[in-house]
């Protein structure tokens, strides 16, 4: 059964966060200081953070025009002999052109790792994403398809990488008990408080708590010479139970996600708001439903007033870094113009079990009547 197969995949190597899983993969592949790892712009800071934590250098690749996934042509132009790995992100759950990217990468002996933070069940040419590259990783934060408080997994079909991962894994310890308790409290609070209609309130509260330092934000400045000790942590046992519980609901979740996306696609018909279409022979199982508009700021402002959950990410090429902080992860503003344009145009609607027929209609009506 699909659920069983995915469950055993995703519970073998479980880490404190998705970025820790990626760092473990890079280490297992022998990536060293001075080597490069290519990633797309229009991503989350977690990705370059993982690369920097092993001493390697992130190299940024643009997305395709009007799209949200890596452009194979841009990749070809940015590969150098020092680029050992390309991390391919399936943004929002839309599959990247993985076969084209694999061809480009193979020509220069670059390995492919998949970033499956936004999807577990998307398929491309009948095959589940996460099974194309040498290794893949997942994330279990609130905004991801499977919520287990926080956390990540690594998978691989390569026996050498698997052996290295296994060896490294035995040296990791779980987070301190106080940290585990805080994660469980956050999990419970989110479960109780989050509904599409409370989104803006919960978001304001979360940001206020991060500012006061009561909870940790998404971005801890890491120093290249002294990676945060978070990178030596695996997932705690309590959270592994949450993860297993989430995995048991995967088929139900997936069916619901497909249904919600289909509804948004047919119900939202505003002439100035575009959908993103899936490429041929793929079945995207989305984390959120993206929409593209030239009037992002107006749309977001009105959504707050109408209490419609509408997210603004990624609002910067390396979310959530603003222009001044981008060079700290090696991103030179202007180097990926298509990704930067997309940050000005993208918004997204929720797709989760709390989005039922009523919430869908409310969101679609709001968008269609946007002026």
Ligand X SMILES: *Cc1c(COP(=O)(O)O)cnc(C)c1O
Residues that bind ligand X (CB under 6 A): 17-19, 43-44, 46-47, 89, 115, 117, 139, 141, 152
Query: By C-beta, is 21 or 308 nearer to ligand X?
Result: 21
Query: By C-beta, is 28 or 117 nearer to ligand X?
Result: 117
* Residue closest to ligand X (Cβ): 18
Query: By C-beta, is 80 or 224 nearer to ligand X?
Result: 224
CB of 68 to ligand X, least distance (A): 11
Distances (CA, A) of 165 to 41, 88, 287: 27, 20, 27
Query: By C-beta, is 6 or 21 nearer to ligand X?
Result: 21
Residue 329 · residue 320 · CB < 8 Å: no
Give the separation between CA 371 and CA 366, rounded to whole angstroms: 10
Give the separation between CA 146 and CA 141, rounded to whole angstroms: 7
CB of 143 to ligand X, least distance (A): 7
Q: What is the dihedral of CA 261, 262, 268, 269, to 10 degrees?
A: 140
Half-sphere exposure of 109 (CA within 13 A, CB side): 4
Query: By C-beta, is 296 or 319 nearer to ligand X?
Result: 319
CB of 203 to ligand X, least distance (A): 16
Q: How far is CA 205 from the centre of its chain?
A: 23
SS3 (DSSP) at 286: coil
23 by Cβ neighbours in 10 Å (0-12 / 13-18 / 19+) ranks as buried
Residue 11: name the closest of 254, 253, 241 by CA.
241
CB of 45 to ligand X, least distance (A): 9
CB of 56 to ligand X, least distance (A): 16
CB of 309 to ligand X, least distance (A): 17
Query: By C-beta, is 17 or 27 nearer to ligand X?
Result: 17
């Amino acid at each position: 059964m699909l659920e069983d197969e995915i469950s055993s995949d995703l519970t073998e190597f479980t880490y404190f966060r998705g970025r820790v899983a990626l760092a473990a993969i890079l280490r297992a592949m022998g990536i060293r200081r001075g080597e490069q790892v290519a990633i797309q712009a229009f991503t989350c800071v977690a990705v370059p953070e993982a690369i920097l934590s092993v001493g390697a250098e992130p190299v940024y690749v643009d997305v395709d025009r009007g799209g949200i996934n890596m452009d194979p042509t841009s990749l070809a132009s940015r590969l150098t002999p020092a680029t050992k790995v390309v991390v391919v992100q399936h943004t929002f759950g839309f599959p990247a052109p993985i076969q084209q990217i694999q061809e480009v990468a193979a020509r220069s002996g670059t390995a492919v790792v998949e970033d499956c933070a936004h999807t577990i069940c998307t398929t491309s040419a009948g095959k589940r994403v996460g099974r194309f590259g040498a290794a893949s990783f997942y994330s279990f934060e609130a905004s991801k398809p499977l919520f287990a408080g926080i956390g990540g997994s690594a998978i691989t079909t390569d026996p050498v990488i698997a052996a290295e991962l296994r060896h490294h894994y035995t040296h990791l310890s779980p987070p301190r008990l106080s940290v585990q308790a805080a994660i469980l409290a956050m999990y419970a609070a989110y479960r109780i408080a989050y509904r599409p209609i409370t989104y803006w309130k919960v978001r304001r509260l979360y940001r206020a708590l991060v500012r006061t330092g009561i909870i940790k934000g998404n971005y801890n400045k890491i120093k290249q010479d002294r990676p945060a000790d978070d990178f030596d942590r695996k997932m705690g046992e309590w959270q592994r139970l949450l993860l297993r519980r989430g995995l048991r609901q995967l088929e139900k979740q997936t069916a619901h996600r497909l249904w919600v996306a289909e509804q948004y696609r047919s119900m939202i018909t505003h002439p100035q708001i575009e959908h993103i279409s899936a490429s041929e022979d793929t079945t995207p199982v989305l984390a959120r439903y993206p929409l593209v508009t030239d009037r992002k700021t107006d749309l977001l402002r009105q959504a707050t007033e109408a209490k419609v959950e509408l997210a603004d990410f990624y609002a910067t090429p390396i979310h959530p870094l603003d222009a001044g902080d981008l060079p700290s992860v090696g991103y030179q503003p202007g180097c990926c113009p298509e990704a930067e344009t997309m940050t000005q145009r993208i918004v997204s609607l929720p797709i989760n079990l709390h989005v039922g027929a009523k919430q869908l209609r409310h969101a679609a009506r709001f968008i269609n009547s946007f002026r």
